[in-house]
Amino acid sequence: MRGSAGVTADRSLFEAYQVLVERAVEALCIHQDGVVVYVNPAGLRLLRIDSQSQIVGRPVAEFFHPDSVPALFERIAALTVSGAHSEPTSVRMRRADGTTLWVEAITVATRWNDRPAYQAMLQDSTDQRVAEEAARAAETQFSEVVSSLAEGVVIVDHRGWLQFANPAAARILGTQADTSVPVNDVAYATRYPVYDEQGKPIPPGERPLEVTLRTGERRRDILGFDRDDGRRVWIAATCHPVNPGAPDSSVVMSFTDITDQRAHSARLAYQATHDSLTDLPNRGQTVQMVEHHLQTRPPTPVAVLFIDIDNLKTINDSHGHVVGDRALQAAAHRVRRALGGSDFFGRYGGDEFVALRHGPTDDVRDLSDTLHRELSQPINVGAHEVRLNASIGVVIRGVGDTRTASQVIADADLAMYVAKSLGGDQTHYFDERLHDLVADDTIGGGDDDSR
């Protein structure tokens, strides 16, 4: 038998434990044989009960939502040894006033009046639960919104691994999300080449998504991407960190398909710089391109030919402008065919064209002969057969010549005017004396090549 000192010690320990439980902030409930035998003050407040008498002796299941009861008793049944405890579990309880709340419960097997019982420690988790449900709802809503966007959205983690890609991303890029390799790996760049706005491949490490991953820099770029079906799509893309400044921030890339817009802009740009009848560069583009060729480095000799169709007006007057337009188209095609692949050719206006040849100029005379011969061949337009001839003015611009494109074209035009004044259907070479002859209102002189 234990002495009186041992009993006194046990009683003191029990009283200390009782004070601790009574003053605890955490709710505590003890039940035995499925019936509540004790609830501390924190538990009474949690369940909105005024006194022990309102809960002690009642089935514990009354204070839990029916959905939580089966799992509750299943966990209790597993606690077969005194001191054994369950893992923290989220359960739904019912208060005395009928309202419900979520608690995190831990149940410990214990003894009450020397018989097996269970002590449940309860912590109100309603606010946490509401916050978690709100976060899940927001995440679901965000996912649904992003999934429904026409704009592509891709998220990668700080190591470059793909985390998310919405359906629009797969539709625009024409490929399924690849999670086998990070986007900043050379293998990924090899498998999925990306092009800059000029159509040049962007090297691995310099692609916008990789730059943002490495530096945190926000990027806006026009990019080209080859789809699985072989078609190149163009996108306007924005890359930025999800959490700027954080070293482990994910990066989001959003992008819009601008393939049609880019093609439309290219068509408008082409139409603005090209003649609709002959599909040749128009006057403004011709001057610009001639200037570009004159600025070529290292400098090379250049021959500029100003070509005027002598008898187009006669054809228009005799057969109508439809026939005249067809004849002009045929003339443009023949001149283009006679020129080399590196030569430039544009329509200057009306029945006037400008051609430019780079490099040695000793074959320019042969070229002008070819042009006269090609243009003089019959052209069949419907029931009509027409023949064209041309006056050609030539300027040779040497390496040290500083004349601009406009000056060179004007001088070639002047030489053409001399050729036309001498009867047309011939070539005339420009020299500086022509300026004086024009100033004196005199036509003639120069090195002509009458045919």
pLDDT tens for 267-319 read 999 999 999 999 999 999 999 999 998 988 788 899 999 999 999 999 999 99
> What are the residues facing 441 on neighbouring strands?
none
Residues 6+ apart with CB under 8 A from 208: 219, 221, 223, 237, 239, 253
Q: What is the 3-state secondary structure (H, E, C) of 196-220?
A: CCCCCECCCCCCHHHHHHHHCCCEE
- Would you say residue 139 lies in a domain? no
Radius of gyration of the chain (CA): 45
More confident residue, 360 or 316: 316
- Would you say residue 69 lies in a domain? yes
Q: What is the pTM of this model?
A: 0.58
Q: Dihedrals φ, ψ of 224, to 5°? A: -110, 145
The verdict on 78 and 212 lying in the same domain is: no
The verdict on 184 and 313 lying in the same domain is: no
- Would you say residue 134 lies in a domain? no
The per-residue pLDDT of the chain, averaged, comes to 87
- Helix 364-376 / helix 321-338 crossing angle, nearest 10 deg: 150
pLDDT of residue 214: 94
Contact present, 57 and 49 (Cβ < 8 Å): no
The verdict on 284 and 389 lying in the same domain is: yes
pLDDT tens for 316-335 read 999 999 999 999 999 999 99
The verdict on 387 and 416 lying in the same domain is: yes
Q: What is the mean pLDDT of residues 88-97?
A: 89
The verdict on 287 and 382 lying in the same domain is: yes
The verdict on 109 and 15 lying in the same domain is: yes
Split into its structural domains, the chain has a count of 3
The verdict on 190 and 251 lying in the same domain is: yes
The verdict on 300 and 427 lying in the same domain is: yes
- Would you say residue 138 lies in a domain? no
The verdict on 76 and 204 lying in the same domain is: no
The verdict on 360 and 436 lying in the same domain is: yes
Domain extent, residue 50, equals 4-128
The verdict on 54 and 196 lying in the same domain is: no
Contact present, 425 and 368 (Cβ < 8 Å): no
Lowest mean pLDDT among 10-24, 40-54, 134-148, 153-167: 10-24
3-state secondary structure of 342: coil
Count CA within 13 A, CB hemisphere, residue 8. 3
Structure tokens at 214: 């490495």
- Would you say residue 97 lies in a domain? yes
- Would you say residue 136 lies in a domain? no
- Would you say residue 142 lies in a domain? no
400 burial level (CB within 10 Å; 0-12, 13-18, 19+): exposed
pLDDT of residue 298: 84
Contact present, 397 and 294 (Cβ < 8 Å): yes
Question: Residue 418 is part of a domain; what is its CATH number?
Answer: 3.30.70.270
pLDDT of residue 286: 94
Q: Which of 216, 231, 262 is the last residue of a domain?
A: 262
Please tell me the distance from the alpha carbon of residue 260 to that of residue 58, in angstroms, as a whole number: 73
- Would you say residue 178 lies in a domain? yes
Task: Identify the band that residue 370 occupies on the pLDDT scale cut at 50, 70 and 90.
Answer: very high
Q: What is the mean pLDDT of residues 378-406?
A: 92
The verdict on 312 and 417 lying in the same domain is: yes
Q: What is the mean pLDDT of residues 383-400?
A: 92
Q: Dihedrals φ, ψ of 279, to 5°? A: 65, 25
Structure tokens at 77: 């049944």
Task: Identify the band that residue 447 occupies on the pLDDT scale cut at 50, 70 and 90.
Answer: very low
Question: Residue 185 is part of a domain; what is its CATH number?
Answer: 3.30.450.20
